[in-house]
Amino acid sequence: MNADTGIDWISYLKICVGMMGMRPVDFWNISPREMYAAMSGFRSFHSAERDEPMTKDSLEEMMELYPD
């Protein structure tokens, strides 16, 4: 944690750039509120714990994004 701001920017940088694929320039220009929203969406999308099974449309969309 950074003593000046209370925000651990390095950890957030690792998540946003390393895991989410955000460009560094976009990371440094995003507001904390936007960053938290993006991380929440990323976590929800990639979570193995889903309330509902995947729909046919979701499967087809995933197949378009990640063709084999």
Confidence at residue 49, expressed as pLDDT on a 0 to 100 scale: 67
| 16 C-beta neighbours (distance < 10 Å), count | 22
Asked if the structure places residue 47 within a domain, the reply is: yes
Q: Is residue 1 part of a domain?
A: no
C-alpha–C-alpha distance, residues 33 and 41, integer Å: 12
pTM of the predicted model, to two decimals?
Answer: 0.57
- Per residue in 13-67, pLDDT (tens digit) is 999 999 999 999 999 999 999 999 999 988 888 876 666 777 899 889 988 988 8
What is the extent of the structural domain holding 28?
Answer: 9-65
Q: How many separate domains does the chain show?
A: 1
pLDDT the model gives residue 4 = 62
Residue 2 lies in a domain: no
Looking at the domain assignment, is residue 59 inside a domain?
Answer: yes
Two structure tokens written together for 50: 């889903």
